[in-house]
Each structure stands twice: as C-alpha cells, then as structure tokens.
Amino acid sequence: MYAKDYHDRGTPESASRTYVTVEIDGVKVEVPEGTSIMRAASIGGCDVPKLCATDSLKSFGSCRLCLVEVEGRRGYPASCTTPVAEGMKVRTTSDKLTQLRKGVLELYVTDHPLDCVSCPANGHCELQNMAEQHGITGTRYGLDGRNHQHAPIDASNPYFQFDQSECIVCSRCVRACDEVQGTFALTIQGRGFGSKVVASMDEGFLASECVSCGQCVEACPTAALTEKAVVEHGTADAAVTTTCAYCGVGCSFKAETKNGQVLRMAPNRDGHANHGHACVKGRFAFGYATHPDRVLTPMVREKITDPWREVSWEEAIAHTAKRFREIQARYGRDAIGGITSSRCTNEDVFLVQKLVRAAFGTNNVDTCARVCHSPTGYGLKQTLGESAGTQAFDSIMKSDVIMVIGANPTEGHPVFASRLKQRVRQGAKLIVVDPREIPLVRTPHVEADVHLQLRPGTNVAVVNALAHVIVTEGLAREAYVAERCEADAYAKWKAFIAQERNSPEAVESITGVPAERIREAARLYASAPNGAIYYGLGVTEHSQGTTMVMGIANLAMATGNLGREGVGVNPLRGQNNVQGACDMGSFPHEFSAYRHVSDPVVREMFETMWGVPLQSEPGLRIPNMFDAALDGTFKGLYVQGEDIAQSDPNTHHVFAALSAMECVVVQDLFLNETSKFAHVFLPGSSFLEKDGTFTNAERRISRVRKVMEPRAGFADWEVTVLLSNALGYPMAYTHPSEIMDEIARLTPTFTGVTFEKIDRLGSIQWPCNDKAPEGTPTMHVGEFVRGKGRFLVTEYIPTTERSTTRFPLLLTTGRILSQYNVGAQTRRTPNVTWHHEDVLEMHPADAEARGIRTGDWVGVTSRTGATVLRADVTDRIQPGVVYTTFHFPESGANVVTTENSDWATNCPEYKVTAVQAVLVTEPAAWRMSHDVHHGDEFAVGSRQ
C-alpha cells in the first residue's frame, strides 16, 4: 500500500499541454487532454470508487468499480480507461452506479476474509474503504462457496509476504513490476477462480527473479502483499517525509512510524527524484539504525592495542581537542586533518570542513568522493564550467539514444535504472560500454543495441575512437560547436582526434572492441535527436579517470548533446550525498561551490563570515594524508562517517598509515575497519536521527528530517559543534537550518536556499540564484557555465597496471543490488539473504585453465597483497578479466588493489588491478590473520 497520507488520483498525469474543460457532477474542471475521467473527477474533488486503478500505473479497467455515466453515451464506461473530452458531462454517482458498484463489491467480498479488525491493513485497505463506503457488510451469496481462505502464505521474502487469501487479483502488483520496476517477475497464473499472482514460475518470491524493490507491495490495495513489519505491528500512526541515505538517486520516502519506531519506508509518490519508486535498500534495509551493534557511548584509548574505555561525551570531546592541539604544537599546524562523508548531510559536511579550515587552521580536509567521483568534478569543471551532472533524472524520458559507460545502474542506482528501462521499452536505443555483461545488456524487454565490451583501462581509447568516427564521418554538429564552444580549443581537439591512431581500427587491439561496433555506436549516438550519457565509477576510478570525463564532455559538445532535456553528461553518484559533499567545500583546495582557496576575494568572504584567517594553500588529499602519515608529518585525523580502512585501496598501506598516526578519531554508527586504528570513537547518528539536506546526482537538494531522536544523544552536526567549541573556535548553531542559511550566504549556487524553501517546493536543484530562484533542472541552456565550452585533448595513456606473466588477469570491481558500499549498513539487515559474501567472477576459459569451479576458494594475488574469494564461473565477464564486489571486509578486495590513481585527482584506480588467481583449499594467510584481527576488535568491545 502506498504512503498513508497519499491522495491517489487513480491514473497518471497527462503530459499534454492542451487543456480541455469537462463538467463532473456539475463542477467544471480543466485538465490536460488525455486525462482520464477518474483523474479529472479527483482533481475536481470527487474520487470515483476504484480498486485496480492507482496513479502510478497505466489504467487497466478490470475491477469495474469506477463506472460512471457520460451524458450522450450509452452504458457505464470505466472512468479509469475513458479519457475526458471537451464539453463532456459526467456523473459519478447515481442509484444505478451505486447498484452496479455494490454488486461488484459483493462478489469481491465472497472470496475475501471478513477479518478487517485483525487484518494488518486495517484502516489502510482500499477494499475495506470501498466496502464501507458502499455499506457492504456481507454478501447475498454467502461465504460457503469455494474460496482462497486457506491458501498458503508465501513468507519467503525477508521483508514482505504474499497472502493469497487477501488478494483480489487486480494485477496492480504485476503491472507495478512490469511498468515501474521493469523486472517482469510477477504474473497472473491460471484463469477464473484459479487466477493467482505468482513470482516467476510460481517458485516463491525469494527464489524468483523478484528484486525486492517493494513496488508490488506499494501498489497492492489490500493486505495481500504487506510488509512483515506491518503484519507484526499494524499500520503506522505517524509519518515523516525524508530522503534515502543510500545511493545518489536520493529517493524520497515517508518514514512511517508507530509508537516512535520506524515501521516502514513508504516511497513518496510526490518525490521528485523517484516518483514513488524504491529499491530493496532504501525501501527495506533501514534496520541497521536500531541494530544492537550500534555504539552509543563515546570511547577512548591511549593506544590502539588497548581496550576501549567508555567515557562521557564531555571527556571524549575534551580528550580529542587536547590531543589534536598537542599534535599541532609538536608537529605543526598541518599535522592534522579531517575527512567528511558522503553519507552525511550537507550541513554535517559543511561543518566538518569549517572545523578543519577555521578551528584546525589547515586545509587538510577531504571527502570520500576523492575515491569515487573526484575526476567528475575536475573534468566537468574544465570542459563545461561546473562540477556536476547536467540533467534531472526525468530528462531521460526524452532521450532517443542512451549511452551508459562504466556504470551498472540496475545494481547501483536501481530506481534510475527502472526509468532508463522504461525509456528503452518506449523505443530509445541503448549503448553499453562496460567490460562486463551488466544486466542492462540483456534484461526482460530491454536489450542493448550495442555493447562495447572493452578491456579494463582502455576507456579513453574507446571514447577517442567514438569521437574520431564522429569527426571524420562528418557527424559533429558544427553549427552548435561554433556557437557554443571555444573555436581554438575545438580546432586543436579536432586535429588531434582525427588522427588515424585514434580510429576504431587502430585501437581495436588495445581495447578489444571490434572497430565496426565502435563505428556503429558513434553513429547511433551522434545521429540521435537527443543523445544522453550516463556514467559511473567505471569511468572515474582509473589512472585516466579525469581524462575520460573530459572525453565524455568532448563527445557531448561535439554532437550538440548539452543544454536541453533528453541529453547531457550525467555522473551516477555512488553515495547519497556525493554531490553535496563535493559542493560543500570538502576538497582540500576549494571552498564551497568549487572556488579555489587561493582566490583572495573568496577567501576574504569566508574569513569575514568565520572571523579567522584561512590558509591559501591546498591541503592534503586522502591518499596524500596516508603518505604524509608514513612520512611522519601527518599525525591526527578526524573521520566522520567513512570507513577508509576498508574502502581505500592498498589496505596494507592504509593500515600502516593509520597505525603511524597518534590520534585517529572515528565518528560512526558502528565499530569498523578504521576504528581498529582509532584512539577516540564518537557515536554517529543515522539519517533517521537528524535534520539536514542531501544533494543527489541531479543536484537536487532534498530535506532529511528527523524521525527519531539521536540514539547516542547528539546528531553528527552537534558533535562537530562540541569539538569546535572545545578547540576554542565557538560554533553557535541551534539547528541545521542555520547551517544551511550560512551555506546559502557563502555559496553562489545555493543563493536563497533555506529549509523553508525546500519544504515549500519539495526539493531544489542547484544552481539556485536570482536568475533561477527555484533552481535549475537542466544546466548549460543557451551557454555553458564557463561561457564557451572547452574541448580538451585527451591522449590515451595506458595504465602502468598491466597484465603480465606473473599477474595475467585484470581485476575490476563493482557493486551488487542488495549491498551498499562497505556494507556497514546493509550487512546488518536481512539484505544478506541475497548476498552474504563477495565472490570472484571468472570466465569459464580462465577457470578451466586453473581447474576452478563455481564455489571453489580462489587465491587472488596482486603486487600489493593477497586475498581469497569463492569463485563464480560465468560468461558475464570476458576472458582475462575477473570481477568482485567490496561489501564485506573479510573479502579484502582492497588488499589487492594498488596505489595507482588518477593523474589529476588521485582517485584510486580500483577498476584495474593485475592479479593472478589460483585454486586454493583454504583461506589465504592474509584472510586468516584478518579474521583474527577482526575478532580482536570486537573482543575489544569488552569495553571498560
């Protein structure tokens, strides 16, 4: 069932801009052409009875409850399937209509339990509402006939159940799975009385193709498909609208609570990013917030080999401030720094970077975006003038050709992937550029027109070859380029890209992609009326990550695919607030809105507002912090909401660096890999415990609203305030809205943004300024942010990480649907049902040569380390390449990744590591030692 406070208008909104006027029950209503009578009536204030209709799905016309009378027409048409027409006169109530509806309802009730009072959907069931509305308390036909009262309940899914006895076979679940989610996992099996909702081949929800997005549950009008939490506790008594804390789609949810506890997260149909859709993580995996592993008391210890000692907040904060000041006194001002988190709010992030710059007095602040999308910020700023994606997610519904590069949205950004698949099913063409056969390459009713299955590390060669075809075959939109881009830079780039060495034929042996495939893709993209590019970490996490981002921008500019709906360059951000963390001035070289610290005008503005002198030199980036720690010049670190010991590459190097520091402060929900090296642990607060904002991948600023009080007593921003005060730099905020007010005053792209304004508009896409007071869904309209677009020469330079005789395979990494990043949250939910360990995907040819079969232990060795994973032999991956995820610390995926990084930003080259893989009989030595260490840490949890 949809969110409790939602007003369902029955059928979707019409996109027409032509309006017609109709009269419904004597009231004149003006609606867009194509609107159903049902929707028009609802807008006019009269909701027609319905059961099979809901406004997230196309009208279906099966329940026959929404019948109306139309003047001049015979019969009783279904209002959901009948569009309005100019001058139409409709009656939604009459004795005859009531009689017809009662008859239908009586038939439904004959095969439905009359247990409303004890039903989990009591008070929030559409059948119950309809029956009550029509005075149906029983049925003339009796209840002795055949029925489904004793049909078995399918409770296989950990989050929801299917109770056939409650099902009215309205097909809303099946249609939701098809139309919205695009998985096509459900169907109605059988006919007549035997009709039954089944998952896949009637194998139960868990074993089926169902991806547990919960859309069927959201669509169900009765208790047939219900969250188990609702079955157990009943319906909610309150709801708070907030924003998901998982991926960069930033879905809006109604956090429904009962007695102050979160009961369920109901996707918000008014949510601008998700329009009522959700995935298995955001919809269901919120239980980590109340998991017993949460650390709720601050802890300190002198040495990392000591056991933790629980202390008061006062002691923990005072201890931290003292230690940081001692380190600065001994080693210098720049011997400490901080790391902000993309899992925290804009307000949390802004305060941490302010703490570092103003209270620590250094620019040694960085963010976890360093290891994911920092090349996006640099590459797009240099070419287009702004470090952000160009479109709203809705833009894809106007795309004719969609190119997905180095992203796996089905797993990483599922709600966006569903929109993408909807558009492809409508006829848009799809190009996938990925070393793996990701699900988008071939999935129900969606098949990529071209899959460029390149070798890892050859992105730039491919994007150059695509551009070569566009330029040499005369497919560039010269008039657009002449009007919108720098002529000299274009001429230089054009001369470079047209060189034969960039042709698809010349790079075929490098990329492994047949030249003709690249030509086909280039022609498809360049000839599209609207061509859009979406990309992910498969673009950025390379030694040439920034070059590839520039190459993508070049491609879009050359084909005129920027500055309107349906086109654009769109980074899919991995975490919910990657965009926001970057916007808020988390990088060591720039203040909020990407302004360099050396700019005296900008710096003076911050100095005036903050009342302290600020440094004009860039600080250390995360990898530089590690190097400096090993060098003895960096000794103290404040890490908020980021597990760098698990997520950063070359684990041994990170461990050594953290071990070399004298004061590591971790602020997080749980003890984690990094806290093994920490001297202070400050309990963090989940997104359910604080107010603030997140900014998603489409630059959309959405509210995060407190659903429950911070479990450890303080929200994250309050802890930063306490620390700042203790360091002698007072902060006087009483609410995160005041932090946003300060952000707005200091950040040109956030001009006028306030909590009140976001509350009023629902969300705002920055830039928000005097020209666009309600935000900017599409960027670079008319001209680029930097004025003229700038083409940059993107020479392909092979990574030094190459396969060799010793390390003949290339390891690349990615994500899986049910888990999120380092897994700290999702591993503590029933999502482990689907993915309880990371595995190594290997092509059958490589596996056979090594005697490896699915399920075997495989030792994976690189030049930096070794780990062991279970094998999954599959042809999703090409020969010579292996693949794994990094959601479980014991997998040690980053033990084998190297310190190689992007030339411009030091973003690690996670996507290419030369490895050897061999059959082993037991976990590798590293893994065993890791398990011991892991055990120690939580034994240390025998806190004093």
Are 182 and 396 spatial neighbours (Cβ–Cβ below 8 Å)? Answer: no
- Least spacing, CB of residue 811 vs other proteins, in Å: 21
DSSP letter for each residue of 779-832: -SSSSBTTBSB----------S----SSS-EEEEEE--TT--TT-TTGGGSGGG
Tokens of 599: 């700019």
- Least spacing, CB of residue 749 vs other proteins, in Å: 21
Give the Cα separation of 163 and 851 in Å (integer).
46
- Site track for other proteins across 534-573, x = CB under 8 A: ---------x--xx--------------------------
- Least spacing, CB of residue 903 vs other proteins, in Å: 4
Tokens of 143: 């209840």
Of 793, 844, 854, 870, the one binding other proteins (CB under 8 A) is: 793
Give the Cα separation of 768 and 87 in Å (integer).
41
Q: What is the DSSP pairing of strand 569-571 with strand 531-535?
A: parallel
Tokens of 192: 């007549």
- Least spacing, CB of residue 378 vs other proteins, in Å: 9
Strand partners, 841: 872, 883
For 535, list phi and psi in degrees, rounded to 5: -140, 165
Quickly tell me which residue has 């200091």 as its tokens. 746
Give the Cα separation of 773 and 795 in Å (integer).
40
Please report whether residue 863 would count as binding other proteins according to CB under 8 A.
Answer: no
Using CB under 8 A as the binding rule, the residues of this chain from 351 to 380 that contact other proteins are 364
* Between 322 and 802, CB nearer to other proteins: 802
Of 76, 729, 834, 903, the one binding other proteins (CB under 8 A) is: 903
Helix (H, G, I), strand (E, B) or coil at 207: coil
Stretch that binds other proteins, among 310-318, 518-526, 615-623, 733-741 (CB under 8 A): 615-623
Nearest to 51 by CA among 116, 123, 146, 131: 131
Please report whether residue 589 would count as binding other proteins according to CB under 8 A.
Answer: yes
User: In this structure, is the dihedral angle defined by the CA atoms of residues 399, 404, 410 and 412, taken in order, positive or negative?
Assistant: negative
- Least spacing, CB of residue 877 vs other proteins, in Å: 28
Please report whether residue 837 would count as binding other proteins according to CB under 8 A.
Answer: no
Please report whether residue 795 would count as binding other proteins according to CB under 8 A.
Answer: yes
Stretch that binds other proteins, among 11-19, 476-484, 506-514, 626-634 (CB under 8 A): 626-634
Return the CA Rg of the chain: 29
Stretch that binds other proteins, among 273-281, 725-733, 792-800, 823-831 (CB under 8 A): 792-800
DSSP H or E run through 849: helix 844-850
Strand partners, 857: 870, 920
Stretch that binds other proteins, among 94-102, 498-506, 563-571, 788-796 (CB under 8 A): 788-796
- Least spacing, CB of residue 679 vs other proteins, in Å: 23
For 591, list phi and psi in degrees, rounded to 5: -80, 180
- Least spacing, CB of residue 496 vs other proteins, in Å: 7
Give the Cα separation of 238 and 257 in Å (integer).
5
Please report whether residue 913 would count as binding other proteins according to CB under 8 A.
Answer: no
Give the Cα separation of 59 and 797 in Å (integer).
54
- Site track for other proteins across 312-351, x = CB under 8 A: ----------------------x-----------------
Total site size for other proteins, rule CB under 8 A: 31
User: In this structure, is the dihedral angle defined by the CA atoms of residues 110, 112, 113 and 115, taken in order, positive or negative?
Assistant: negative
Strand partners, 639: 339, 666
Are 392 and 398 spatial neighbours (Cβ–Cβ below 8 Å)? Answer: no
* Distances in whole angstroms, Cα of residue 40 to Cα of each of 3, 9, 81, 92, 101: 22, 8, 12, 11, 20
- Least spacing, CB of residue 793 vs other proteins, in Å: 4
Of 794, 861, 867, 891, the one binding other proteins (CB under 8 A) is: 794
Question: Burial of 357 by CB count in 10 Å (0-12 exposed, 13-18 middle, 19+ buried)?
Answer: buried
For the chain, the distance separating the N- and C-terminal CA atoms, rounded to the nearest angstrom, is 47
Are 431 and 401 spatial neighbours (Cβ–Cβ below 8 Å)? Answer: yes
Please report whether residue 899 would count as binding other proteins according to CB under 8 A.
Answer: yes
Count the neighbouring beta carbons within 10 Å of the beta carbon of residue 488. Answer: 11
Tokens of 820: 């999120």
Of 21, 94, 312, 598, the one binding other proteins (CB under 8 A) is: 598
- Least spacing, CB of residue 237 vs other proteins, in Å: 53
Please report whether residue 869 would count as binding other proteins according to CB under 8 A.
Answer: no
Stretch that binds other proteins, among 49-57, 151-159, 441-449, 621-629 (CB under 8 A): 621-629
Give the Cα separation of 193 and 195 in Å (integer).
5
Give the Cα separation of 884 and 860 in Å (integer).
11
Of 42, 803, 906, 916, the one binding other proteins (CB under 8 A) is: 906
Stretch that binds other proteins, among 191-199, 507-515, 861-869, 898-906 (CB under 8 A): 898-906
- Least spacing, CB of residue 495 vs other proteins, in Å: 10
Of 250, 588, 789, 908, the one binding other proteins (CB under 8 A) is: 588
- Least spacing, CB of residue 436 vs other proteins, in Å: 26
* Between 79 and 364, CB nearer to other proteins: 364
Stretch that binds other proteins, among 25-33, 167-175, 408-416, 793-801 (CB under 8 A): 793-801
- Least spacing, CB of residue 709 vs other proteins, in Å: 40
E strands, 580-684, in order: 590-591, 595-596, 636-640, 663-668, 680-683
Are 415 and 172 spatial neighbours (Cβ–Cβ below 8 Å)? Answer: no
- Least spacing, CB of residue 624 vs other proteins, in Å: 6
Of 30, 302, 306, 631, the one binding other proteins (CB under 8 A) is: 631
- Least spacing, CB of residue 543 vs other proteins, in Å: 7
Using CB under 8 A as the binding rule, the residues of this chain from 633 to 662 that contact other proteins are 633
Using CB under 8 A as the binding rule, the residues of this chain from 387 to 426 that contact other proteins are none
Please report whether residue 797 would count as binding other proteins according to CB under 8 A.
Answer: yes
Are 33 and 20 spatial neighbours (Cβ–Cβ below 8 Å)? Answer: yes
Using CB under 8 A as the binding rule, the residues of this chain from 456 to 515 that contact other proteins are 496
Stretch that binds other proteins, among 195-203, 238-246, 383-391, 629-637 (CB under 8 A): 629-637
Nearest to 567 by CA among 384, 769, 815, 767: 384
- Least spacing, CB of residue 552 vs other proteins, in Å: 16
Residues in contact with other proteins by the rule CB under 8 A: 334, 364, 496, 543, 546-547, 588-589, 596, 598, 617-621, 624, 627-628, 630-631, 633, 793-795, 797, 899, 901, 903-906
